Structure formats: C-alpha cells, structure tokens
Amino acid sequence: MIVLSGEEQMLFLAITFLISAAINSQLVGVLFPPALRAMMIVLLLTGFTIFAYELYELREGSGLEGAQFELFALSTGILTLTLWGLFRRLEIQNRRRHAAERDLVMANIRRLEVNQRLRESREALRQREREALRLAEEAKAASRAKSEFLATMSHEIRTPMNGVLGVAELLRDTDLTREQADLLETIERSGQALLSIINDILDFSKIEAGKMQIARRPFSPAALVGDLERIMAPLARQKGLAFEARYEGPAVALLGDEGRIRQILVNLLGNAVKFTDAGKVAFRLRVTPLEGGRMRFFAEVEDSGEGISKDDLARIFAPFEQADSQLSRRHGGTGLGLAISRRLAEAMGGELTARSERGKGSVFMLSLVLEQAQEAPESAPARAKERTGPPDLAGRTILVAEDNRTNRMLLRRFLEPTGARIVEAADGRAATALWEEERPDLVIMDVSMPGMTGIEATREIRRKEKGEGRRAVPILALTANAFEEDRESCLSAGMNAFLAKPVKRRDLWQELRRMLDPPE
C-alpha cells in the first residue's frame, strides 16, 4: 500500500477534483453553456490556488524542492491549460450546436408556417372550386329554368292565340259589314304582330342559350324564291315599289333548314320594303356547285331606300339596336330581326353581312354552304297539289285529342267543311280509348294534355297496333310547343306530321289532304 504525505494527498485531491470537475462540467456543460463557463472559471481558480499553495510551500522551504516545484508547476499549468482548452472547445462546439439547433428550430417553425399557409391556400382553392362549381350549377339551373319558362310561355301564349286567330279566320267567312271586316283585319294583323314578336323573343333566347336546333331537310331553292316573291311582291307594290326576284342556279334540292332560311330572308325583304319609300327592292338567289357535292347558297336583298350610315351598320346586328330609333319607331319593330338573322346564319355555318350608304340604299347578303339533297323535297308534291278549298273527307272519321275547349271548338269548325265525322277526346287516355273504339282514319293530337300527354298516347297507340299487327293510323301533331325539338320528339314518338299553333285553316286542310290523299 502506498502511503501518501500530506502534500501529496492535497495534490492528489486537487487533481482528482480537477478531473471530476472536468467530467462533471462536460456533462453539465453539454446541456448548459453557462455552467460550462462557470466550471472553467473554477478550474482556473483551482489550478491557480494549487500553484499558489505550492509556491508558498516552496518559499517556506517545507514542501517541494525547486526542480520538483518546476515540474509540478509545469504539469499543473499544462493540465489546467489543456482542460481549459478542452472546455473552451466544448463551449464553442456547444454554442455552434445550439445556434444550429436554433436555426433548425426556426427552419422548422418556418416550414410549419409555410405548410400552414399552403394548407390554407389549398383549402381556399378548394373553397373557390366548390364556389365555382356551385355558380356553374346555379347558372345551368337558371338557364334550364329560363328554357322551361320560355317553353311554357310559348305554349301558354300560343294556345289562346290559336283561339284568337282561328276565330278571326272563322269570322271572316260570315257576313260582315265593311266596318266589321276592317276591324277584323285589325284583330288579325295585331294577332300576327304579337305572335311574331313572341317568336322573335323566344328565338333570340333560344339562340342565346345555345339551344337553337337547325333542321336538315331537303328543300328547293327555286321554289323558295317563288314563295318569297308571292309573299313580298304585294307588300312592295302596296308601297309603290318595284319588286324583282330572280333565281340563278340548277334545279336541285338542298339539305337545310328551309324554315330558318326563309325567316332570315323574310326579315331582310321585310326591312327592305319597310325602309324604302321609292324605287325598288330586288331579291337574287344564286346557287353554285362547290367540290364534294356541296353548294354555295348566296342570297342578296337590295333596296334603293334610305341606307344606313357606317356607324349604324356596325350596330344594327346587335340585339334591340335600331339605326334611327325615331324612324324605326315610325315603322315598328323590336330591333331583334337582324340579331336573330345573323345568329341563325351563323348557327347554319354561314354568314349574314351588309353594305350600305346613307341615301343610296342597302344590300344584305346571306351566304351558306349546303349539301345537295339526294331525295326530292317533301313539300314539292304538296305545292303542286296546293288547293285552297277543304278536302273531301266524307265517310272518314277524325279523332281530335285536345284539352282546350276553345281549340276543340275551333278544330270542329275547321273540319266541318271536309264532311269528316269528328270524335273528340280531352286527354291522352281518353284518346287511346276512343281510338280503340272508333278506329279513326286520322288522329289530330295535341301534345300537352293533362294526365297522359299526346306523346305518351301516340306511343301507346303505336305499341298496340304493332302487337295486333294492325295498320298504323296517321297521326298529326297539332301543338303549341313549336320548337324544332318539339317537332322531333313528336315524330320520334311515331307521329307522322307536325303543325304548330296557331294553325291556319288552310294549312290544316292542306296537311289533311297530304296525309289522307282524298279523291279530288
């Protein structure tokens, strides 16, 4: 066993203290830099104290020898400095680590903030998407509601108009005084004007909603010119204007929407007559072949009227625009005609343009590309057969399915001169029952009826006929649902022909003649 002297014990204790202080301070210091710094101060103080004590001992001559003291002082100094350096390094490292940790924490906080912002903006984006979808849904619903409203309005207005104009037509056949005949004409004219305004507004809304359907049926362009001349020439002559109509082209049938083309041309010709006080109105239609069996359809309406200024020319195709509102008010009109005509032309893949000069007249041009039709136009034989009187339908039975009492009365009156026997039903169910019972030669079918509609009744009749192997009865749709899609849904349900209300007696007779082919 080694026995240590008092100084050696002191020295040993001091060194042990230094080492344990170093170890402790490292442990604590790693976690807590101020403690580390305190330990360094203690370490320096301890080193210094030992050194001072040894120096004192040396001076007193009781302790170490000079050489021993030097060795001791040197080793204490080296140890103290080494430990101090170690701690210093530790402190620096710790500080750096803490700074790095702080940076890391800050970066983490920033990342969290960025994440939060991202989440928020994603949520906002989703919210906006939901909002956009909701708005789109609302817009769609509004447009649907508008279309439904228009269809209902159209139906609701046409039904009584059918009564007004039909009764006026019947009245004309009675003995009227001159004055009564004049008043009656006013009723008819006002009724027609109201109807054409309603048609314009409905058409325009349909076009705006992108719901305008364009038919593709064969028609004869030459016959179209003849028809338009028959309609417009008397109006021009009434105003003292010359009227010219010319067709230049082959005798072909074209595939297109004759009704809509006619609507555009009637509008252009009507305007030409309306805005020309002297001179003439000329109508030319040129049809020339293009490659691939297609044809260019080019119609020009020229007048020697008041003309349109350059500024106005840019406006008149916009809805509700009139070049000279005072003048137009004098002539009447809604300012929708050209807007509809241009949109119709565009819906048919063509264009409607105009050139004009104030005081020198105007030219409106409709240009379309149409296919040549392989079959002959449907209306050609009917045109050839056109008669004004009632067809002879004696011995035939006609079933009239119509819920409106006035319109049933009107149809009865319209049909009376044909000699046909008339049976009546007020809804689809009654109509199918009566069809079973009476086996009529023809059915005139309204579409909107309470309970079973005309479309459903037609399907039912066609189903039964098929089941029993019976001949199909001709069904004529006579409806206030006057749009192209209404016509299509009637035909696809199995009806054979379509007339829109208000119907003219002559048109009804004409259609019956075509469908039943009575002996003339």
For ligand ADP (CB under 6 A), the number of binding residues is 21
Backbone angles phi, psi at 14, to 5 degrees: -60, -45
Q: At closest approach, how far in Å is the CB of 361 from ligand ADP?
A: 8
For residue 305, state whether it binds ligand ADP (rule: CB under 6 A).
Answer: yes
**DSSP collapsed to 3 states, 360-404:** CEEEEEEEEEEEECCCCCCHHHHHHHCCCCCCCCCCCEEEEECCC
Contact with ligand ADP (CB under 6 A): which of 303, 441, 446, 486? 303
Q: What share of the chain is helix, strand, coil (3-state, %, to 5)?
A: 60, 15, 25
Residues 255-284 that bind ligand ADP (CB under 6 A): 267, 271-272, 275
Separation CA 169–CA 185 (nearest Å)? 10
Choose between 303 and 460: whose C-beta lies nearer to ligand ADP.
303
Contact with ligand ADP (CB under 6 A): which of 33, 160, 191, 335? 335
For residue 362, state whether it binds ligand ADP (rule: CB under 6 A).
Answer: yes
Give the DSSP H or E segment for 220: none
Contact with ligand ADP (CB under 6 A): which of 94, 213, 309, 334? 334
Choose between 53 and 317: whose C-beta lies nearer to ligand ADP.
317
For residue 297, state whether it binds ligand ADP (rule: CB under 6 A).
Answer: no
For residue 316, state whether it binds ligand ADP (rule: CB under 6 A).
Answer: yes
CB under 6 A: which stretch of 337-345, 426-434, 447-455, 510-518 binds ligand ADP? 337-345
Is 198 exposed, middle or buried (CB count within 10 Å of its CB: 0-12, 13-18, 19+)?
middle
For residue 417, state whether it binds ligand ADP (rule: CB under 6 A).
Answer: no
Q: Which amino acid is at 406?
A: T
CB under 6 A: which stretch of 138-146, 321-329, 385-393, 414-422 binds ligand ADP? 321-329
For residue 486, state whether it binds ligand ADP (rule: CB under 6 A).
Answer: no
Residue nearest ligand ADP, CB atom distance: 333
Choose between 161 and 241: whose C-beta lies nearer to ligand ADP.
241
For residue 457, state whether it binds ligand ADP (rule: CB under 6 A).
Answer: no
Q: At closest approach, how far in Å is the CB of 338 from ligand ADP?
A: 3
Q: At closest approach, how far in Å is the CB of 303 from ligand ADP?
A: 5
Choose between 265 and 410: whose C-beta lies nearer to ligand ADP.
265
Helix (H, G, I), strand (E, B) or coil at 401: strand
Separation CA 336–CA 268 (nearest Å)? 12
CB under 6 A: which stretch of 218-226, 299-307, 384-392, 502-510 binds ligand ADP? 299-307
Is 222 exposed, middle or buried (CB count within 10 Å of its CB: 0-12, 13-18, 19+)?
middle
Rg, Å, the chain Cα set: 51
For residue 323, state whether it binds ligand ADP (rule: CB under 6 A).
Answer: yes
Nearest to 269 by CA among 236, 241, 293, 312: 236
For residue 338, state whether it binds ligand ADP (rule: CB under 6 A).
Answer: yes
Question: What value, to the nearest 5°, has the Cα angle with vertex 252 and ends 247 and 256?
Answer: 90
**DSSP collapsed to 3 states, 266-301:** HHHHHHHHHCCCCCEEEEEEEEEECHHHEEEEEEEE
Count Cβ atoms below 10 Å from residue 332 Cβ, excluding itself.
9
CB under 6 A: which stretch of 48-56, 213-221, 301-309, 420-428 binds ligand ADP? 301-309
Q: How distant, in Å, are the alpha carbons of 286, 417, 509 from that of 298? A: 5, 43, 34
First to last CA, the chain: 154
Question: What value, to the nearest 5°, has the Cα angle with vertex 165 and ends 162 and 168?
Answer: 140
Q: At closest approach, how far in Å is the CB of 520 from ligand ADP?
A: 41
For residue 324, state whether it binds ligand ADP (rule: CB under 6 A).
Answer: yes
Which neighbouring-strand residues pair with 282?
A: 244, 302
Choose between 303 and 441: whose C-beta lies nearer to ligand ADP.
303
Contact with ligand ADP (CB under 6 A): which of 159, 328, 404, 432? 328
Nearest to 482 by CA among 503, 468, 504: 503
Separation CA 380–CA 97 (nearest Å)? 99
Helix (H, G, I), strand (E, B) or coil at 439: coil
For residue 308, state whether it binds ligand ADP (rule: CB under 6 A).
Answer: yes
For residue 368, state whether it binds ligand ADP (rule: CB under 6 A).
Answer: no
- Pairing label, strands 442-445, 497-500: unpaired
Q: At closest approach, how far in Å is the CB of 352 from ligand ADP?
A: 11
Choose between 302 and 424: whose C-beta lies nearer to ligand ADP.
302
Choose between 269 and 442: whose C-beta lies nearer to ligand ADP.
269
Instruction: Quote the tokens at residue 248.
Output: 């230049």
Q: At closest approach, how far in Å is the CB of 357 from ligand ADP?
A: 11
For residue 203, state whether it binds ligand ADP (rule: CB under 6 A).
Answer: no
| Site residues for ligand ADP per CB under 6 A | 267, 271-272, 275, 303, 305-306, 308, 316, 322-324, 328, 333-339, 362
